[in-house]
A and B are shown apart, each in its own frame.
Chain A
Amino acid sequence: PLTSPLKLHYPHPQNSNHKLLSTIQVIEDDRSNRGSEPFVTGVRGQVPPLVTTNFLVKDQGNASPRYIRCTSYNIPCTSDMAKQSQVPLAAVIKPLATLPPEETLPYLVDHGESGPVRCNRCKAYMCPFMQFIEGGRRFQCCFCSCVTEVPPHYFQHLDHTGKRVDFYDRPELSLGSYEFLATVDYCKNNKFPSPPAFIFMIDVSYNAVKSGLVRLICEELKSLLDYLPREGNMEESAIRVGFVTYNKVLHFYNVKSSLAQPQMMVVSDVADMFVPLLDGFLVNVNESRTVIASLLDQIPEMFADTRETETVFAPVIQAGLEALKAAECSGKLFIFHTSLPIAEAPGKLKNRDDKKLINTDKEKTLFQPQTSFYNNLAKDCVAQGCCVDLFLFPNQYLDVATLGVVTYQTGGSIYKYAYFQVRTDQDRFLNDLRRDVQKEVGFDAVMRVRTSTGIRATDFFGAFYMSNTTDVEMAGLDCDKTITVEFKHDDKLSEDSGALLQCALLYTSCAGQRRLRIHNLSLNCCTQLADLYRNCETDTLINYLAKYAYRGVLNSPVKTVRDALINQCAQILACYRKNCASPSSAGQLILPECMKLLPVYLNCVLKSDVLQPGPEVTTDDRAYIRQLVTSMDVAETNVFFYPRLLPLVTDVDSDSLPAAIRNSEERLSKGDIYLLENGLNIFVWVGVNVQQGLIQNLFGVSSFSQISSDLSTLPVLENPFSKKVRSIVDMLQVQRSRYMKLIIVKQEDKLEMLFKHFLVEDKSLSGGASYVDFLCHMHKEIRQLLS
């Protein structure tokens, strides 16, 4: 089904666009064609099913697409070909991805004191593609062809096909993904690491206290601390915890188990941050349970009458960093912060928000940090393995672009709850917090991607820090973080040997174990452009293009970035038209089968908030989304740019989700209720003519006008329709790494403007083109290139 190119006579814009290529159709087709069979990874260069398809993976020597997806699984042999096609060669890697329960986790291989077997020259790790020669005494590296002696303890005879006899007993010989236990050589200062620590740092300024946030956090932590990540079979988590509160000064807490009461130590010298205590700051939750409980009870009381409105920020991170340094461990800071840090301290910020800069050459400054202070701080944090997760609760501009620098460069996550109110936002915040605390995470990580001679990794996108051109350093890396890697040719590849990728991630587990996670992937190589176009994956391409563009806005005017994006896609499609498609009239738009959604998705990227903001989008929102997208995997970018729109039909019997429909207003019927999700929000759209019975069943009110728009959850009602809708919402929430905000939108209500922004096939209010218009535009571009 992937072979036939698509010829399209797209209709005149004024005509109905029913015949336009439907994303829904492509998704549904892939689901029905490929969803039933497991995806077996034994064969080189296989294109996996789409991210929207549910499928199982069997690892037979290549990494699962849950770990690595590529823009193309068949890559040009030469750099000329690659340039001609303009198809970016990139892999989207999620090294610690969560697997469904049916799939096996990577095996942990322990090679004892000598550590993993590696190529002498390029230091690639033992993998299924290494070639054993001379009866198994040596092996030839599949990446650099260097021949290395097999260490005596690792020697094994080969069978008649040249395979080692123990092939199936050894994960590193038979599987695409596995882990090695690292030896002390892989540890900082040649010392095995201590278990990591979590430090909770709570803003207790006036806003935080008044909104009830402080109380909420303290209440939640009391129970949440029992769910810190544990290694497999361990009885309790090895992670130690510490607590800090702050406004314009910092309060450290001694929660040593021997104390009857916690002790507070105030450090007001924020210019020169230090940790005032050694013992009793980082503690085991079980040992200090009563002291911690007492502390969490008292914090909201102690600050109940505060009048301090100013906060500091950089000293908070410095404090956490110093604490981890003193404890000689890596860890994560959970910072709960409410306002622009204007108190006198290092890293103090100004309000420099200026919407007038939009569409000017200076627009890029809105995405840049206002001081380099945080970049330097981030560097120090990475060196210590101090990851910073940031929960923001702003009531006004707080400069996410600057505050997020450390989070971003340490591999942390930012969560933002504008105008936080306990009543409407607590579920979302608490779910995010719970997930963030509990999720699998590695610390003090370094990732290196090795490739076959001929190509090499040249560019990286994601939340990390790089001190050189090859090592991706992350103070923390969790199961949701994704790194996109771009490759470029530096030599020729051959069709015979194909191209290999090996992603090696060295990290400290939540129990303090130093490990290496290895993912291997083999790709085909081609000398014909048609082979390239036949094996591309548009969703991954979009992931790459979006990240590329979102980084571009830091340095170039947004218009330049948008034009470049359009230009590149036009070139890709023009190259296909010129070299692969059979001759046809110029009025015909011809798209490769597996790129037929490229225009519609590209249009979505172009009209996203970062590249074309609407009037209601704040500077902080744009900075926030920019950082968010940069760490997204393919499934997340897919739904983020092209939201899923589901009609909530009344046939309540079916277990599965209703079939999605296209994101266009004309698909909506006044008499129906729809649900739209994009990974951050869930909208429930209610038509004006919806039957009263449905409204009663779903909202518990008798008429459309009585539906309240500030509901943040659907009321729990005992009827099949309510149950069904709530279960759909729950199902969607589970699939996403963040808890989505539920927004009720009544047709013709003021909130509908916001909702319409997500109907991405329509012309947007901020000037974004409709699907049809954009298709026309692309066609024009392609024709220009061809003529």
Chain B
Amino acid sequence: MATYLEFIQQNEERDGVRFSWNVWPSSRLEATRMVVPLACLLTPLKERLDLPPVQYEPVLCSRPTCKAVLSPLCQVDYRAKLWACNFCFQRNQFPPAYAGISEVNQPAELMPQFSTIEYIVQRGPQTPLIFLYVVDTCLEEEDLQALKESLQMSLSLLPADALVGLITFGRMVQVHELSCEGISKSYVFRGTKDLTAKQIQDMLGLSRPAVPIQQGRPLQTPEQPVISSRFLQPVHKIDMNLTDLLGELQRDPWPVTQGKRPLRSTGVALSIAVGLLEGTFPNTGARIMLFTGGPPTQGPGMVVGDELKTPIRSWHDIEKDNARFMKKATKHYETLANRTAANGHCIDIYACALDQTGLLEMKCCANLTGGHMVMGDSFNTSLFKQTFQRVFNKGFNGEFRMAFGASLDVKTSRELKIAGAIGPCISLNAKGPCVSENELGIGGTSQWKICSLDPSTTLAIYFEVVNQHNAPIPQGGRGAVQFVTQYQHSSTQKRIRVTTIARNWADAQSQLQHIEAAFDQEAAAVLMARLGVYRAESEEGPDVLRWLDRQLIRLGRTLRNESSYYRHHFARQDLTQSLIMIQPILYAYSFHGPPEPVLLDSSSILPDRILLMDTFFQIVIYLGETIAQWQKAGYQDMPEYENFKHLLQAPLDDAQEILQTRFPMPRYIHTEHGGSQARFLLSKVNPSQTHNNLYAWGQESGAPILTDDVSLQVFMDHLKKLAVSSAS
């Protein structure tokens, strides 16, 4: 029999699911004693090259409250052409199309290897994907130029039939009409006035079928559905126009006097973008892509005033409840995010500025809608340019790595209930018998909406074992969970992916070793961390943080902006990436042997090593003191020291490999001992040597870190204590 490690790996590869426990404690009491809840990480659209979708509708359980999908776990009576639902035990007739099935002629969904299966279904008209660019023009000339070029370039990456729109903003907000020849037209809105969706649609002339201003309008043939508005046009039709329009974009012309910030109407711009899509294309895949170079400074959603002398809110202000605009702004963006999510659209935020841009207030826009959040110093950096390009990356099968408007429906065996989910989703408020009253994450529902997702989007789903201690499950009993994800594929097809898994129940008292052996500590770490971050987000209390990995606390220590950013990504990346975020990876390159992973500890920083650290957001290459000196002396250029040249090159190559696949593109830092950028490394390593204990450890090995954070050692001790106390 395969080891649990192999089992876990196989399951992950096949189903995109990793459970914290792979043998489940069979009663509520036992389960609660396990500290780590029964939960799983689900990657609904995990890329499966070996999984050709089937071109028919799934067969559903006929019980209206169940509607589970026929799966390999179902009992089938081939003679009677009946099947029993494994969740509600309803006996169902097969549909007529299944008349020919038999033990040897099974449809795919009954075969055990198709525990995950994808259906292509015909539902309603297919609408093209929509990309609405919302562009800040209060940028430095160089930044704007770079952004314009990136946007122009992106037009060639979009699917040809995709609809594209452009909104620009500064002091005012302009919605550009893309369908016109000659005079270029735009609708202009004040940046200070919050408008309702209805007002926006009226003002854009979207609320009437007859459009007042349009030149040489050909008569619409009735059979051709109106699938575009003046503001959203097929990219193949207007890419020349739009390229010119982008090229002619100027910086916001309104003068900014000294001591002032430019007036940036991000709040109204987003509101108009949301309203525009809401009015024209509800419930179809659409990305609002916000590119901003600074904080919103006026109107609804403003984060800071335009006076430079009043700085943007700091951690301190927020703690003291001194952040004047924060609550109102957050509320504004939350309302927008919820509307966007309700429409099935998503909002990406690309924020590039040296200063803060108000991501804290805006984070929900991306978080609730499954949009991307990308932060950088400038649009004129490869970090932004490549990350942005990567949004339009295609998978192995040549399809965009993006999907829209997904709904995830989770069904469980009776012994289980659903406590909640954490990820880029909102609740669909589907109450049902399998919904637990105890919420973990976004709970109270068995269905969630994920407006935008890609093959790596991963949700954490938490369960509660509800089986009572006095009603033991018979030996060999299995619990099952079914995940049904309906979504709009990037090819605009409607698809349904169904994953049905089962795990053994075990009695924790008699079979604890089985349960322990089937514990997936990586999954557990990520699941717990997500829970911690979720609580930190929603409760903001230091109490919650205290029991968490200190590394995560660091997430909160940085600027507010950044912490929102980190949390955003943490809540959606798959397990491996999440682990990197929790515990950065450190590789050492030296003449002493092949590259090897080393402890993320200050003792690993040695003069004759090159270190490569991957923190997910940053890739740091650090040359030890001696190596740096050698490099300065130019040994790498001497033919007799070619091996040194190779040593220098090795981490660069490895870094490049990471850079090429990671989204968002990490910050790439190349530094050396004593370099100012070395702080990126020093701030991450475990402070086994600090200025507090420096003399106790001796001086030749490792580098001391100036910090008051406790060392991992101390933390581990604490964790052990905790584990012992819970096990007893």
Contacts and interface: CB of A to CB of B under 8 A. Distances in A.
Interface residues of B, number: 28
Interface residues on A, range: 20 to 34
Contact of A268 (B174, B183, B204): B204
Contact of A277 (B217, B253, B255): B253
B172 A276 contact: yes
Interface string A248-283: 010111000000011111111100101011110000
B183 A264 contact: yes
B213 A267 contact: no
Given A266-B188, A269-B190, A272-B190, A308 B183 contact: no
Interface stretch (A136-144, A295-303, A683-691): A295-303
Contacts of B188: 252, 265-267, 276-277
Interface in B187-201: 187-190, 193, 195, 199
A295 B174 contact: no
A735 interface: no
A272 B193 CA distance: 9
Contacts of A304: 215
Contact of A261 (B174, B182, B217, B254): B182
Nearest to A248: B212
A303 B203 contact: no
Given A265-B174, A265-B188, A269-B190, A249 B253 contact: no
B204 A303 contact: no
A83 interface: no
B204 A305 contact: no
B185 interface: yes
B210 interface: yes
Interface string A301-334: 1111111100000000000000000000000000
Contact of A301 (B204, B210, B215): B215
A247 interface: yes
A539 to B, nearest CB: 52
Contacts of A268: 187, 202-205
Interface string A514-544: 0000000000000000000000000000000
Interface string B165-190: 00000001010000000111111111
B201 to A, nearest CB: 10
Nearest to B184: A263
B429 to A, nearest CB: 35
Contacts of A308: 212-213
- Which of A262, A263, A307 is packed against the most chain B CB atoms within 10 Å? A263
- Which of B182, B210, B212, B253 is packed against the most chain A CB atoms within 10 Å? B212
B214 interface: yes
Contact of A295 (B183, B193, B212, B255): B183
B203 A307 contact: no
A599 to B, nearest CB: 57
Contacts of B172: 274, 276
B189 A279 contact: no
A754 to B, nearest CB: 39
Contact of A278 (B182, B193, B202, B254): B254
A383 B145 CA distance: 42
Contacts of A265: 174, 185-188
B2 to A, nearest CB: 66
B184 A305 contact: no
A202 to B, nearest CB: 14
Interface string B84-123: 0000000000000000000000000000000000000000
Interface in B667-689: none
A164 B193 CA distance: 65
Contacts of A301: 215-216
Contact of B183 (A262, A269, A306): A262
Interface in B205-228: 205, 210, 212-217
Given A268-B205, A269-B193, A261 B212 contact: no
A264 B214 contact: no
A298 B182 contact: yes
A306 B254 CA distance: 33
Given A268-B205, A272-B190, A276-B172, A261 B183 contact: yes
Contacts of B199: 269
Contacts of A262: 183
A288 to B, nearest CB: 14
Nearest to B244: A260
Nearest to B255: A278
Contact of B213 (A261, A269, A294, A306): A306
Contact of A303 (B210, B213, B255): B213
Given A264-B184, A276-B172, A302 B215 contact: yes
B25 to A, nearest CB: 61
Contacts of B183: 253, 261-264, 295, 298, 302
Nearest to B202: A268
A263 B186 contact: yes
Interface string A124-163: 0000000000000000000000000000000000000000
A269 B203 contact: yes
A299 to B, nearest CB: 9
B205 A307 contact: no
B202 A261 contact: no
A204 to B, nearest CB: 9
B250 to A, nearest CB: 9
A266 B217 contact: no
Nearest to A263: B184
Contacts of A251: 213
A594 to B, nearest CB: 61
A269 B217 CA distance: 25
B212 A306 contact: yes
Contacts of B187: 265-268
Interface in A616-643: none
A264 B214 CA distance: 12
A272 B212 CA distance: 21
A263 B174 CA distance: 12
A302 B253 CA distance: 27
Contacts of B186: 263-266
B185 A266 contact: yes
A252 B205 CA distance: 17
Contacts of A307: 210, 212
Nearest to A274: B190
A654 to B, nearest CB: 56
B246 to A, nearest CB: 14
Nearest to B188: A276
A305 B215 contact: yes
A274 B182 CA distance: 25
A303 B215 CA distance: 7
Contacts of B204: 268
Contacts of B174: 265, 276
Contacts of B190: 269, 272, 274
A268 B187 CA distance: 7
Nearest to A253: B183
A261 B184 contact: yes
A302 B213 CA distance: 7
Interface in A48-79: none
B209 to A, nearest CB: 11
Nearest to A273: B190
Nearest to A270: B203
A264 B210 contact: no
4 pairs of A and B residues whose beta carbons are closest in the complex: A268-B203, A276-B188, A308-B212, A264-B185
Interface of B: 172, 174, 182-190, 193, 195, 199, 202-205, 210, 212-217, 253-255
22 contacts: A247-B212, A249-B203, A261-B182, A261-B183, A261-B184, A262-B183, A265-B174, A265-B186, A266-B185, A266-B186, A267-B188, A267-B189, A268-B205, A269-B195, A272-B193, A274-B172, A277-B253, A278-B255, A298-B183, A303-B213, A305-B215, A308-B213
Given A266-B213, A276-B174, A305-B215, 14 more contacts: A261-B184, A262-B183, A263-B185, A263-B186, A265-B185, A265-B188, A266-B187, A267-B189, A274-B172, A277-B188, A298-B182, A302-B182, A302-B183, A305-B214
